[in-house]
């Protein structure tokens, strides 16, 4: 009996993950002021969807991305600057929410890894070319 309930809970988990509540008011509705909407869209393109992780909140269909779009539009409509909205989101969700994380002790490997890989690739290519010449 316990195993059957556990199996049922595991099967039902994906259904429970998608909320049946309607999207937030500004999730899929543009702001009336085109300048404010442009600011909001520019900001949304630079924020990572925390559910999808590979899409911005502007491109994601996840309900959390919709909530974040509504939050960004609401704060921009209230007169906040995109920088202050970004700072608030980073404070709430961490640097991961931004596609452009600041250089810090936690993110320096992200910034240095491409350089290190390029240097490593150059060293490997150089040694490979030297072997071919001999």
> CA angle at residue 15 from 63 to 62, to 5 degrees?
15
| Cβ partners under 8 Å of residue 49, min gap 6 | 55, 56, 57, 59, 60, 62, 64, 65, 68
pLDDT in tens, 85-134: 999 999 998 888 888 777 778 778 877 889 999 999 999 999 988 887 76
- CA-derived radius of gyration, the chain: 22
pLDDT of residue 18: 54
Burial class of 31 by CB neighbour count within 10 A (0 to 12, 13 to 18, 19+): middle
Answer positive or negative: Cα dihedral of 28, 14, 95, 114.
negative
Examine the pLDDT at 9 and tell me if it is beyond 60: no
Do the Cβ atoms of 37 and 31 come closer than 8 Å?
A: yes
pTM across the whole model: 0.64
pLDDT of residue 122: 94
pLDDT in tens, 20-40: 666 667 777 888 999 999 999
């Amino acid at each position: 009996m316990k195993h059957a309930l556990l199996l049922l809970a595991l099967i039902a988990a994906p259904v429970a993950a998608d909320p049946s509540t309607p999207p937030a008011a500004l999730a899929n509705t543009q702001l009336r002021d085109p300048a404010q909407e442009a600011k909001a869209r520019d900001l949304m393109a630079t924020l990572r969807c925390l559910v999808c992780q590979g899409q911005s909140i502007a491109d994601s269909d996840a309900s959390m991305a919709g909530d974040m779009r509504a939050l960004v539009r609401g704060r921009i409509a209230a007169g906040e600057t995109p920088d202050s909205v970004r700072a608030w989101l980073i404070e709430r969700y961490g640097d991961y929410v931004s596609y452009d994380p600041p250089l810090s002790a936690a993110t320096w490997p992200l910034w240095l890894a491409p350089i290190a890989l390029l240097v490593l690739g150059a060293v490997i290519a150089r040694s490979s070319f030297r072997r071919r010449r001999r």
